[in-house]
Structure 1
Amino acid sequence: MNTGPAPGERRPGGALEAEVLALLQSSPQALTPGEVLQSLGDDLSYSTVVTVLSRMFDKGLLTRGKQGRAYAYAPVADAHGLTARRMRQVLESDSDREAVLTRFVEDLPARDEQLLRQLLGGLPDQE
């Protein structure tokens, strides 16, 4: 699955992390750094893969568990779950949640607003 850059070229920022995340999301089980390296199949070093996996774990994108002498890594959520998580993190970074949510809904296309209202209508009140 060699999707890396041509020899001598560098990946754009975040590209390796995106490749690793896509690989882990498509895997039926957690993978060790060696398995990730083998699957990526390009000129990365083992230590580079370990560093990327460790940083992704520290960011909360991955879980890990011991597998022999190494850790095996798995994503905390599928692609949609990670997008929702990023949206929640952005919302939590602003002190005026009501203003952010109001602006968000106002700026939605009518179809998305209707979908959001449908989804919210099906949820029980949690107050």
Structure 2
Amino acid sequence: MVGLGELESAIMDILWRTEEPAKVREVLDGLTERRLAYTTVMTVLDNLFRKGWVERELDGKAYRYHPTFSREQAAARALRAVLESCGDPEAALLQFASTASDRERELLRTGLRKKTRRK
């Protein structure tokens, strides 16, 4: 995910797949491809909290963490950041549209129709 490091992205992936807020130990257990210290995961979750990616609730002596927004909302924010930083958002959007698959173009049309109806 844009704006996140590799470990932060892996942790966010676990939180997005988890239905309930998760404790550090539960997140650590979900990182099956890595051997990390408990304190490393705790530090990364604290960083994600300070960055606004997760919220936390005290549960006894430990925090439970959950995403501040969905994976789809995070992706949309990343796309928005790319457009704002590229210098020519119109050209970037047109370039993307020219490389989009038929399915992606249909999804864009559907989304734009829905947005137009809401106004």
TM-score (norm 2): 0.69
Between Structure 1 and Structure 2, which shows a larger proportion of helix residues? Answer: 2
Residue 30 of structure 1: which of 17, 21, 27 is its match? 21
User: Which of residues 94, 104, 108 in structure 2 aligns to 1:102?
Assistant: 94
Greater relative contact order structure (CA < 8 Å, 6+ sep): 2
Task: Give the match for residue 72 of structure 1.
Answer: 64
The CA distance in 1 between the partners of 2:89 and 2:15, in whole Å, is 33
The count of residues paired between Structure 1 and Structure 2 equals 114
For normalisation by structure 1, the TM-score amounts to 0.66
> Which structure has the bigger radius of gyration?
1
Pairs within 5 Å for 1:12-51:
14=6, 16-40=7-31, 43-51=35-43
Change (3 A) 1:36 1:125: same
1:33 Cα offset (Å): 1.6
- Identity score, percent: 36
Question: Which amino acid in 1 is paired with 2:28?
Answer: L
1:117 aligned to 88, 109, 112, which one?
109
Unaligned runs of at least 5 residues, structure 2? none
Cα distance in 2 for partners of 1:79, 1:32 equals: 19
